[in-house]
Structure 1
Amino acid sequence: MKKVVLIGAGGKMGWRTTANLRNDSAYDMYYLEVSPEGIKRLKEIDIEVTQAQEILPHADIVILAIPDVAIRKVAVEIVPQIKAGAMVVTLDPAAPCAGHLPQREDITYFAAHPSHPSVFNWEPNEKAHFDYFGGIAARQSIVCALIQGPEEDYEVGKKLASSMYAPVTKAHRVTIEQMGILEPALSETFAAAVITVMKEAVDTVVAKGVPKEAAYDFFLGHVNIELALLFGQLPGGQFSDAAYKAIEIGKPLIFKENWKDIFEWDNVMKQIKAIT
């Protein structure tokens, strides 16, 4: 049984990770937390916080479930205390890509991030259906990267990540750079920005007098069918001729010609540095 130390166990991501790992018999779990709110939250579910110096030298795996902006500071304190051959896991690619993990050739660095449940998921019950984030009842895939360390450690990290984010349908292996392109570039810099504008567009239509409920129903229904058409959920399906003409009108009015530059690595690194 591997000794796993979860740092930030009472925080936003740590709390979700705690919920999934605490009952996994494959791991001997220990929990580190410094915030009074986090410690209180853990005590409410009968979890006692361990002192770092007592457990870190014996840990097989250390999970950094803390904000990107704090990882450099915490890692500098934590990494020197762990034993050779141990694994450090981050839940996001930003800090590793930004070079915020201390150099140690005798340990493994691994990153894993959830894809979150797909809009095309079919879930059999209400609890899973409304688990939009994932990690409770809805199925989701994950992405994993072995940043450094022996090849056999990939399976160790993948197994842990599959438990952290369960229920998991598939673990996609990517490089840490590819994970950085997926997040923040694709999922946040691009998708979150576009979806924010989509919401602003609906609000604009409502401001022009269209009833809010009608606008929401009409827009979200069309988004659903348009996603299904474009992402292969309706084989052979395609937009109408009129829709294609509307798309030709809309794209140059909405997007700059160079919008794809956000996926170039120099721009990805600017995004990563901004959030770390």
Structure 2
Amino acid sequence: MAKQDISCSLYHGEEKFYALGEELARVFFGPVNKVFRVTIQQMAFCEPGLVESVGCSLVYALKQAYDKTVNDLGVPADVAYSFLMGHLHVELAITFGLVDAKYSDGAIKAMKDAMKIMFKEGWLDRMLSKDYILESVAKITDKNN
């Protein structure tokens, strides 16, 4: 099993209880590589904010585009999947600065044009605003939702 990084917070209580909570988290989510200590607010900005509200939505949109490419446009599934995954690896590496490379001029043009269509003005500020995150957490944790 691959090691993963985890984040931990002390929600309330005495500081001495943080270490116990981290130890339990290491057992629950092990094997663990790194443990990051964050505030409750930072945790919420990461999850649900970054990884669920933004990340899951973008990945779901990728799956919808993949399905349309295969089902409606006739590209064989294995070809579309291989193309998508191969390019995503490269695109993630370029975008996060993990490789000394840049997007082609054509890729930059296609991306800029597409982002104007796909994303509303101010979408990122709204999705990662404190108000939106608090509302999202409230909905997720409300047993009636």
The question of a shared fold, defined as TM-score above 0.5 by the shorter chain, is answered with yes
Equivalent residue in structure 2 for 1:263, among 128, 139, 142: 128
Hey, what's the Cα distance between the residues in 2 that align with 1:273 and 1:152? Answer: 28
What secondary structure, in the 3-state scheme, does the structure 2 residue paired with 1:266 have? helix
Specify the alignment match of 1:240 in structure 2.
104
Hey, what's the Cα distance between the residues in 2 that align with 1:176 and 1:256? Answer: 29
How many residue pairs get aligned? The number is 139
2:41 is the counterpart of 1:200 = no
User: Moved runs in structure 1, 4+ residues, more than 3 A?
Assistant: none
CA deviation digits over 1:90-131, x for unaligned, max 9? xxxxxxxxxxxxxxxxxxxxxxxxxxxxxxxxxxxxxxxxxx
Specify the alignment match of 1:220 in structure 2.
85
Question: Larger helix proportion, structure 1 or 2?
Answer: 2
Matched to 1:193, the amino acid is S
Report % sequence identity: 38
Instruction: Give TM-score, length-normalised by structure 2.
Output: 0.89
Specify the alignment match of 1:127 in structure 2.
none
In structure 2, list runs of 5 or more residues that go unmatched.
none
Q: CA deviation at 1:142?
A: 0.3
Hey, what's the Cα distance between the residues in 1 that align with 2:19 and 2:95? Answer: 34
Q: CA deviation at 1:220?
A: 1.1
What secondary structure, in the 3-state scheme, does the structure 2 residue paired with 1:239 have? coil
Equivalent residue in structure 1 for 2:33, among 169, 194, 214: 169
Aligned residues: CA RMSD: 1.2
Instruction: Give TM-score, length-normalised by structure 1.
Output: 0.48
Q: CA deviation at 1:233?
A: 2.3
CA deviation digits over 1:70-96, x for unaligned, max 9? xxxxxxxxxxxxxxxxxxxxxxxxxxx
CA deviation digits over 1:145-189, x for unaligned, max 9? 012222232222212211221111111011111111111111111
Structure number with larger C-alpha Rg: 1
Equivalent residue in structure 1 for 2:48, among 177, 184, 196: 184
Hey, what's the Cα distance between the residues in 1 that align with 2:109 and 2:61? Answer: 21
What secondary structure, in the 3-state scheme, does the structure 2 residue paired with 1:147 have? coil
Hey, what's the Cα distance between the residues in 1 that align with 2:64 and 2:112? Answer: 21
Q: CA deviation at 1:143?
A: 0.5
Hey, what's the Cα distance between the residues in 1 that align with 2:15 and 2:140? Answer: 30
CA deviation digits over 1:180-217, x for unaligned, max 9? 11111111111111111101111111111212211111
In structure 1, list runs of 5 or more residues that go unmatched.
1-136
Hey, what's the Cα distance between the residues in 1 that align with 2:24 and 2:78? Answer: 43
What secondary structure, in the 3-state scheme, does the structure 1 residue paired with 2:117 have? helix
Specify the alignment match of 2:7 in structure 1.
143
Q: How does 1:41-52 map to 2 (within 5 A)?
A: none
Hey, what's the Cα distance between the residues in 2 that align with 1:181 and 1:225? Answer: 26
Question: Larger strand proportion, structure 1 or 2?
Answer: 1
Matched to 1:229, the amino acid is I
Q: Which has the higher contact order (CA 8 A, sep 6+)?
A: 2
2:136 is the counterpart of 1:274 = no
